[in-house]
Amino acid sequence: MNLPNLNEARKRTNKEILIKTNEYIVKENLKELGLGKKYYIKTYGCQMNVHDSENIKAILEDMSFEETTDFEDADLILLNTCAIRENAHNKVFGFLGRVKHLKESKPHVISGVCGCMAQEENVVNEIRTKHKWVDIIFGTHNIHNLPNILFDSMTRKEQEIEVFSIEGDVIENIPVKRDSKYKAWVNIMYGCDKFCTYCIVPYTRGKQRSRTPEYIINEVKELVKQGYKEVSLLGQNVNAYGKDLNIDYKMGDLLRDVAKTGIERIRFMTSHPWDFDDDMINAIKEYDNIMPYVHLPLQSGSDRILKLMGRRYTKEKYIELYNKLKTNIPNVSITTDIIVGFPGETEEDFNDTLDVVSACKYDSAFTFIFSPREGTPAAKMEDNVSLEEKEQRLYKLNELVNEYANQANQRYLNKITPVLIEGVGEKGNLFGYTDTMKLVNVDGDSKYIGKIVNVEITDIKTWSLDGIIKED
Ligand code: 5AD
Ligand code: SF4
């Protein structure tokens, strides 16, 4: 048993990061462990988790398990969890209740919790004491060892917990079963060393570790060969890419090299304003296949709160960068993340946030009420703002954000714009995204799925566009 330890997770040393190319092994006797058995994975949270689930699926299939999308039909149920806010926690414990119920009628079902919540000491303690029936818990640094964890759990019949609280290495040989045939997630780095005071990620995901350019570029070249149209380069803080490698190679260089593979669309997320350098902007400008879309979290528009958050930029510096992006990258769309109700946020601080939103007129924004995360500095800060007040601020902020999102969408009306058609939506229509990451609903034939087609925008909604296909 390896339990998570917050103090260990907080540590950052100069220990060299190892690139491990044979760490993932499925022993011969485990290759058929899942024969005749089905697995179901429920994924919470960000794209990083979505991609981890793609790895977990491939590992389980290496052990002969088969996927099912009906959890009642599964022999193995895994919850890949998110720790970013309290409501993510609540959802997971809510779903665990359903799994417990299922296990009452199907006791052979194996249940497991993995992902960021599994890295949290308090969560694991809660599961150990109150949910003893959960069979396995494994952390974000332990995914490659899933075959052995499962085997131990199945043979020993006791709760199996394997969570390392380490800075982390880079494991290069984990297989992947991608959800899409057209767009792919590609990790370019793991972890985060920014330690924004509200954020749990540096504790759950470890030290910043960039993958080497060679591994990334080879992965993208392989995707091009397989017919993929789009890659999203993933990291908690992609602008800091390469800073931990002892080579003179940064995010701008990586963007150019990925662009040269010929993949039709490149996206990257998430950016931190602190590390966004001019060379990155130039790279986006130089290559048509780097999409004009930047997610640039603001978090707060108040210098006082930004300082308490440990964000290392001011409102002025943020707006300067924002304007530089807008003037240098034609047609760029910019979205953001904003937290309201950070401990001690005054009406004046909140108004500063509204001011920045009005100055930037974002294409869209994800807005959140501050949620204290155990072990982070902000969780201990005095917070005298009532929840009611925070909810009112969120409401007011959302109204403003929606107004600008709507305005931004108006730009597209009656224009023709390229859309990568991804699939069939709930109402039977096709859907896809523009280069600027606008969701578009289109009437049309399924033959267009997986293709980039020109679409004329015929109607505008706040969160999506409607259109018709203009070519064959
Ligand atoms: N409370 C509320 N929102 C948070 N985020 C991160 N941590 C917290 C927290 N403790 C938000 C930030 C981040 C996004 C992914 O989630 O805005 O950019
Ligand atoms: Fe969290 Fe800040 Fe790192 Fe983003 S940059 S993952 S908000 S600590």
**Does 454 have pLDDT greater than 90?**
yes
> In whole angstroms, what is the distance from residue 328 CA to residue 125 CA?
50
Spacing, Cα 306 to ligand 2 middle (Å): 13
Which has the higher per-residue pLDDT, 446 or 186?
Answer: 186
Ligand nearest to the CA of 203: 2
pLDDT for the residue 357: 98
Nearest CA to ligand 1 atom 18: 337
Ligand nearest to the CA of 336: 1
Look at residue 123 in the predicted model and tell me its pLDDT.
96
Distance, CA 202 to ligand 2 centroid (Å)? 7
pLDDT tens-digit profile of 42-88? Answer: 999 999 999 999 999 999 999 999 999 999 999 999 999 999 999 98
* Dist CA 405 CA 367 (whole Å): 13
3-class secondary-structure state, position 390: helix
Residue 425 has pLDDT above 90, yes or no: no
* 84 alpha carbon – ligand 1 mean position (Å): 6
Task: For residues 202 and 208, give the distance between their C-alpha atoms in angstroms, rounded to a whole number.
Answer: 8
Instruction: Note the pLDDT tens digit of each residue in 241-276.
Output: 999 998 999 999 999 999 999 999 999 999 999 989
Average pLDDT of the residues in 304-323: 97
The residues near 281 (Cβ < 8 Å, ≥ 6 apart) are 324, 325, 328, 329
Domain annotation for the chain: domains and CATH numbers: 6-162 (3.40.50.12160), 173-409 (3.80.30.20), 416-469 (2.40.50.140)
Average pLDDT over residues 314-336: 97
CA–CA distance, 324 with 346 (Å, rounded to integer): 30
CA distance 258 to 217: 6
Output b/e per residue, 3-36; b: 16+ Cβ within 10 A: ebbbeebeeeeeeebeeeeeebebeeebeebbee
Give yes or no for residue 397 having a pLDDT over 90: yes
Are 30 and 191 in contact, with CB atoms under 8 Å apart?
A: no
Q: Does the bond joining 270 to the residue before it have cis omega, within 30 degrees of 0?
A: yes
pLDDT digits (tens, 9 = 90+) for 166-207: 899 999 999 999 999 999 999 999 999 999 999 999 999 999
Q: Residue 217's pLDDT is what?
A: 98
* Ligand 1 proximal residues by C-beta, below 6 Å: 84-85, 198-199, 297, 299, 337, 339, 368, 370-371, 373
CA of 46, closest atom in ligand 1: 15
pLDDT (tens digit per residue) in 108-155: 999 999 999 999 999 999 999 999 999 999 999 999 999 999 999 999
Q: Is the pLDDT of residue 428 over 90?
A: no
Does residue 1 register a pLDDT over 90? no
Mean pLDDT on 397-403: 97
**Is the predicted pLDDT of residue 472 greater than 70, yes or no?**
no
> What pLDDT shows up at residue 281?
97
Per residue in 345-395, pLDDT (tens digit) is: 999 999 999 999 999 999 999 999 999 999 999 999 999 999 999 999 999
Mutating to test ligand 2, I would choose from 119, 189, 193, 196 the residue with most ligand atoms within 8 A of its C-beta, which is: 196
444 has a pLDDT exceeding 90: no
The answer to whether the CB of 200 is under 6 A from ligand 2 is: no
Name the residue with the closest Cα to ligand 2, atom 1.
199
**Residue with CA nearest ligand 1 atom 2:** 370
Q: What percent of the chain has pLDDT over 90?
A: 93
From the CB of 441, is ligand 2 less than 6 Å away? no
* 31 to 60, 144, 156, 405: CA distances (angstroms): 9, 14, 18, 50
* Rounded mean pLDDT, 301-327: 97
Query: Does 202 contact ligand 2 (Cβ within 6 A)?
Result: yes
Ligand nearest to C-alpha 373: 1
198, 318, 353, 381, best to mutate for ligand 1 pocket (most atoms within 8 Å of CB):
198
Best residue for ligand 2 mutational test, from 193, 199, 241, 300 (most atoms within 8 Å of Cβ): 199
Answer yes or no: is pLDDT of 471 > 80.
no
Beta-bridge partner residues of 38: 66
Ligand 1 center–CA 297 separation, angstroms: 10
pLDDT in tens, 88-109: 889 999 999 999 999 999 999 9
Ligand 1 centre and the CA of 449: distance in Å?
Answer: 34
